[in-house]
Chains A and B, each alone.
Chain A
Amino acid sequence: MRSDNYLLKFFLIAYLIVFFGYLLGPLIVMSVTAFNSPGFPRMTPWECLTFEWFDVLAKDDRIIEGIKNSFIIGIGTVILSVVMGLAGALVLTQIWPKLRATYYTIVIAPILIPGVVLGISTLVFWDRINIMLGFTSESLFNNGIFLTILGQSTFIASYCMLVFIARLQRFDTDLTEAALDLGATNVQAFRKITLPFMKPAIGSAAVLAFLASFENYNTTTFTFGKFPTLTIELAQKVRYGINPSISALAFIIIVLTLIGALAYEIYRRRQQLALANGAPVAAVSGGSFQLPKIFRGNPAAVIMVLLALGGFSTIWFAQSYSPAQCKVDVRTQKQIIQQQRIQEIRQQRLEQQQQKSRQGPDIFGGKKTAPATGTVPQSPGKGSFGNIFAPKNLEKTGPKGEKTD
């Protein structure tokens, strides 16, 4: 029984390692490539530690413009989808029971409809309205930002609604009724009771909506018009020629995500701690005396501080560090290797020529061995030339040759 347990534990750990390796490995590899000097993002062979890709990224106007568009669209989407999602959830609680299932199916459907279809339908619909009303192609209905906000909100509002429904399930409707009995108007009851209760849900729905909008590709790719978002720009870059500045961007996003996740974790810990002590959150989060105590029960805070320290020291290091010398070294090394390779190729060619001149008379001479000679000259030729011009060889010399120029 006990050995069985150990075996189980072993399998569990192995599985967890494989699973999280699959989950996090790609992100780690991508982050590492941001610091390697070759022009194509790669982890091996490691050449020089460099920060130049961050400079390249910061000087990329299209990326900067994309981030700006993403923010505008993100904010519009958050406002629209939080309002619609909240209204949708409130209506769901009081809709006529017979209509309820149909209504729920309709408002949940945008999550299941492929994003491509949503983008196309938004584009087609507003384009036809535009033509029907006789507007020019410069009108609002053809504006990329307008279309993208509408297209994204269609399904992001469903996400928001799910968040609100989960929160509303714990809502005590007696509270609203009590307020109404005490003479509050409906709007007052909504503002003073329903909204404050929904506040945390509104916050998380807004964050969710913004992130979903920021990273959306499928819908946006049909609707963006003249306002490409960051995701669209990234996709263009990744499809047509990639360089490690994208890895640098990915690294920044990963670090920001990590910080966000840790901040959230710290916040939750503090709340739990407050709950356990029966004290309000403010009391626990207070002055500097309690700071060490927070750290003790809070690994997330410790990691956060370490991360910040690491970040600062990296920035300091990047200011003083220059990979120029290392690059020169790598270049000379590559040159040496290339020289060697050229030598080898020359040698091979020479040998081949010699072989050919030796075989020459043999082919013309011996007619008895015709079937054999028919195949013989072909196969060595294939072997030796093929080795030189094999795609792998060409590729290995190709980019390096460019580099040395």
Chain B
Amino acid sequence: MTPGIHLQQTLSRTTLAVGDEPQLIYVLLEAHAEGLAQQLPKLPLNLCLVLDRSSSMRGDRLMQVKDAAARIVDQLGQDDYFSLVVFNDRADVVIPAQRAIKKADLKAAIAQIEAAGGTEMAQGMALALQEVQRPFLTRGISRIILLTDGRTYGDESRCVEIARRGQSRGIGLTALGIGTEWNEDLLETMTASENSRAQYIATAQDVVKVFADEVKRLHAIFAQQVQLSVETRPGALLRSLDQVRPFIAPITIVEEAERRWTANLGDWPDTGVQGFLLEVVVPPLSVGDHPVLKLTLRYHLPGANLRDQERELLIRASMRPAEEVAHRVDTTVKHWLERLVAYRLQANAWKYAAEGRLEEASERLQMAGTRMLNAGDAALAHTLQQEATRLLRNGAVSEEGRKRIRFGTRGLIGPVASDERETNT
């Protein structure tokens, strides 16, 4: 079998009733690696770690982070590059970009980091971008991993600008917030791009696992520059496209031509499943099976020296007379939709809250709780409920509650649950 990406579709309903109104159908698109030889050669990794060493990191937090950084060094191979930048009121390159060969020296440098001072992130990001661009890689994966526990003041827009500059050159950013003081709006804005994400680390003990998981995931990347294009039949409409597995993320879709949309999906590891949910408006159609969408996935497989690979998937709506149509909804589609709806509801809640419309905001959080309860996350449902009540009573939610909700509804409170192939419905 040629190596590639396997695509699988599940529709919310197997049949649709014929009628004279447009209808909504949900398409779950799941993708995983197939036909890979035992092990494709690993792509070299070029990793820069940017660590906040402000005084609030003192104690257990910094100890755990240093331990986690040292373990990353252990995970890296001889072809991988590593650099380390720290920042407080100023930024320093602790380890300039180099191959991870003299591991004892690298770890000794990590051990000497001490916490003091304030938080000025942009300086750190600028140095990180400089270091990560030093190695010349004909192929490989360049990433910045940022960890912070505080708020940076006055240089937020520079942080975003530096992150964007890196992302435009294919350098992804993983931004990790630890504790409750950091600015989740900033980290989410900085990571609103492919190959990037923000994640919430609730307790310092989780840092080691989060770092290790991230390096493992980066080492498992086999497909790069994955791009999805969606073509619809006349009258049909792609209403939304969101990632739902391994975590929830809105995806930017660009309407390239009449009835054709494309989205950049970044680099994919060969472990686990990538899942996407599409909302498609189907126009009134006659009895029969009608093609509604054509999905085309394009990607490179650098490990196998294959470029511009393509997989296609045609999605058909099966129209039947109303009396023959079963109204059952696919439970897997419903499960992922339920989580996505919870994520959207909380996002709307913050917008309402910012406008001072607290009742609407509280209702959205409440309903998000209902959705999470049905999706099987009782703990998060309870947090949503508590914060909905708190918002109505006190006019504000707690900092921790807000972070738990924003990142919990996306599945991004670390360590992130493993994304097994089996769905957990």
A, B in one complex: no
What is the interface of chain A, defined by CB distance below 8 A to chain B?
Answer: none
